[in-house]
Structure 1
Amino acid sequence: MADVKLSGVHKYYGNVHAVRGLDLTIADGEFAVLVGPSGCGKSTLLRTIAGLEDPDDGTIMIGGAVVNDLRPRERNIAMVFQNYALYPYLTVNENIAFGLRARKTPELEVRKRVNEAAEMLGIGNLLGRYPRQLSGGQRQRVAIGRAIVRKASLFLFDEPLSNLDAQLRDEMRTEIKRLHQEITTTMIYVTHDQVEAMTLADRIVLLRDGQIEQQGAPIELFEQPRTSFVARFLGSPSINLIPATLRVEGNDVTVVFQSGESLPLPPAKVTSLRSANGQQVLAGIRPQHFGRATGAPLRDGVVRYSTVTDLIQPTGTRTFTTIKVGGVDAVAELQAHDVGRHGEQIELTIDLNRLVLIDPASGLVIA
């Protein structure tokens, strides 16, 4: 296994500055996910770590050694691509074993490693088939098997599940997560899918325009975003951002919406806002922070809010409903049977302890 350290890495494509002086350290054995919108530099960064692209400036270290001048095969890495990259004229067995045989690995060792990988991935019964005889999920398992038999110090995944349907993506996410738990090798995984990032990562590295916008544990980025970009990108449905103004009266701070409605902030949110009277903000409320009000006493920081349902989207286990908050459309995620019809007057709860307040000018979270 190996840690990875990037220092001041830049990458240009003509006038396009794809990676902008990026510093990043990934610990030995960590599962790090590079995520962000198309064009943010995540695949470029992965390919630069792999040696498929040369950095224009900066240093790349794997396992404590500088690898800038090493070819990909000299970096002791294994890579899984989006398009599987299997040899169509070789069987599953031969595809998995190809890299080992190219390195003159003894045949007994080749068979042992291939069988171990096939058993781990549940494809032992497919070793005699050709890629054309496999489903997309099976082909991706073969591609992963070819990587893990290498016993590399670093595994790189470049959007490996993008070509699979939703059910297969779910299955393969589980397989990849389990694989990391079993072999504990350092893994760097690129995706544009924030659900993949949240479910797979020990640490998410969220990129924007070739720079790190924020990094940390998935729940940290979800609950404590530093910018509006992070708040919007993570979470499905996306966070509701509602224009408002802060009103400070003594030790109390209230969020006043453009509709005239207001919500009192809990004490934990007030401390840093006592000098913010009149400040314009975006009040960020995630759909998951709504609930259907009952007769039970409310916890501190949780308030009741009456509104009318608009669009209703049942998913089976949950229901997404569009409502008005502060005169603006917002989405609430409720229990499956908490709302029944369009136009229904309902009383909700909002957990203001988890409210995010954003400066609309800078995009920075202020509380």
Structure 2
Amino acid sequence: MMKLRQIFFATTLSLGLLLSPSAAFAKAKIQIAILLDSSNSMDGLIDQTRTQLWEIVNALTSVTKDGEIPELEVALYHYGNDHLPSQEGFLTLLNGFTSELDLVSEKLFSIDTNGGQEYAGWVINSALKELNWSAEDENFRVIFIAGNEPFDQGPVDWKDSVETAANRDILVNTIYCGNPESEDRTFWVSGAQAGQGDHFNINHNRTVTFIESPYDADIALWNQRLNETYIPYGIEGEIGQERQQVEDANAGTNIASRGASKASGYYRNASWDLVDALDEERVQLAELTDADLPEAMQGMTLAQKREYVAQRQEERARIQAILRDLNQKRADYVAQQTQANSEGEDTLDSVTIQALRQQLTAKGFEFQ
């Protein structure tokens, strides 16, 4: 595919078209850095993020840029926790930007809350320095930081951190998890204003009620069948496949929401799944040895291997289509059940989705 792209690029140049290399070679990208306060009082925030990650992903499945589905990358920090090194600002990077959402979910479930100093300016500054932010202007870059202590704590000035982000076209959205009338909220509002983002107040302790539907059992069944289309390869194969099963279990009753995400174009596992890896041209099938492949593929000829992968790919597409249909029916059912019973309190997913819809649209992305 790369050779075809090179030919296309050379052809367009010869025709005199003014086409930039970034437009010719790369999809648009959505980069989201999530910075979570993990002090003692934030158990509710962490729980909401764990259960609502898939709702946020699902809200983006209809997004396009220039007619294509963009790449989605998520990074995760937690901060304000005495278990974390004080010399590093009581914060840690759990994962850098990745398109492998199971890894993000795994890291969310690894967080243990504990009291600590909550240095918002420091963790924002760390995210700006440590993460591999795209340099392409057409891409969307955003930070969501959530917490409940004063925004101006710590030795790193929050103003400098936020203004640096804004100067790099990285939006900063702030989410205050506390009394909306608290004076501590003031600088959280100022942080969003200076960061050219939005500010929200949520009830982080609210438990989101799961609404059962007649489609849930079928979604769970087809989700498990979807897992059977993945082909573990290389040293990450068994690890990735096991992680997929664990995160299914962690989803619990939210498996329907996770199932919808797994049926979308954002659910990619090229580091361990051979179907995705070949699709993204990370590996060449002819170069893999039997030791790199699952037992079922060992001893096959190259033609047989290609046929085996093609069958899995075709089956995956079929199951994903079934899951999308079931999840749409479930969404319609849930909407009917909740239409007259809105609880009126914002949660992490609702404010995150609200901000993303507005900000992505302003950046030239479209919701179909």
TM-score band (shorter)? under 0.3
More helix by share: 2
More strand by share: 1
Higher relative contact order (CA 8 A, sep 6+): 2
Query: If you compute each CA radius of gyration, which structure gives the higher value, 1 or 2?
Result: 1
- The TM-score, its normalising length taken from structure 1, stands at 0.22
